[in-house]
């Protein structure tokens, strides 16, 4: 390599983040930033890291997609039998991270997790493209599979099964909602002196806002 990894660095200079300008409601503040990420035409601004943990404390993380959010929390969908689904079943706590590099911004969310209602999962499943609905049936997510051909054969099997029919939601597939206890908004600043404002939930309606040292 011509460039050392240790020499890779960028100075963040686009914007700042102050207590005067941030919204007192973290969900409103997230919506402001998310809307700005859409306006900036960032690639997959709803992509986020989801970190989960086994019952005995072994962590794992992966990229997933945010599919909804409101003042109840942040929603993602998955196969409940997947690694993350099983971990959330035994240890219903999670962390999310959004990284919007082009805006030099990061949002960190820590909270508890609950399954959303079957009706909510049905509503989202119905608007998924047909190939995605079939894929939810064909893939035993996170399980070892001998070959790609087996997966494609399983997909063809369900294509035939549901030919000219509405594809129903599998009972093992649905949504989780991350209910935040803490939300941190991070704005990159020069000389690594970043702005970090942390919301901590006090009750159902009130949040405490504190500045963290970078």
Residue positions annotated with a catalytic role = 192
- Distance of alpha carbon 147 from alpha carbon 193, whole angstroms: 49
d(Cα 137, Cα 157) in Å, to the nearest integer? 10
Measured distance CA(77)–CA(72) in Å, rounded: 16
Residues 199, 108: Cα–Cα separation, whole Å? 10
């Amino acid at each position: 390599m011509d460039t050392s990894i240790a020499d890779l660095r960028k100075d963040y200079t686009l914007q700042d983040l102050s207590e005067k300008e941030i919204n007192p409601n973290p969900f409103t503040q997230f919506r402001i930033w998310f809307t700005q990420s859409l306006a900036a035409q960032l690639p997959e601004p709803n992509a986020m890291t989801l970190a989960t943990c086994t019952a005995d404390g072994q962590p794992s993380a992966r990229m997933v997609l945010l599919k909804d959010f409101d003042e109840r929390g942040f929603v993602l969908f998955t196969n409940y039998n997947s690694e993350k689904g099983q971990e959330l079943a035994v240890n219903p706590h999670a962390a999310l991270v959004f990284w919007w590099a082009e805006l030099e911004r990061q949002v960190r969310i820590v909270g508890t997790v609950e399954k959303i209602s079957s009706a909510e999962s049905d509503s989202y499943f119905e608007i998924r493209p047909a190939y995605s609905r079939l894929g939810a049936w064909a893939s035993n997510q996170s399980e070892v599979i001998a070959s790609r051909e087996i997966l494609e054969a399983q997909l063809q099997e369900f294509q035939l099964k549901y030919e000219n029919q509405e594809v129903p939601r599998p009972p093992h597939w649905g949504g989780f909602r991350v209910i935040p206890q803490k939300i941190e908004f991070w704005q990159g600043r020069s000389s690594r002196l970043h702005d970090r404002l942390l919301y901590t939930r006090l009750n159902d309606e009130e949040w405490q806002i504190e500045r963290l040292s970078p």
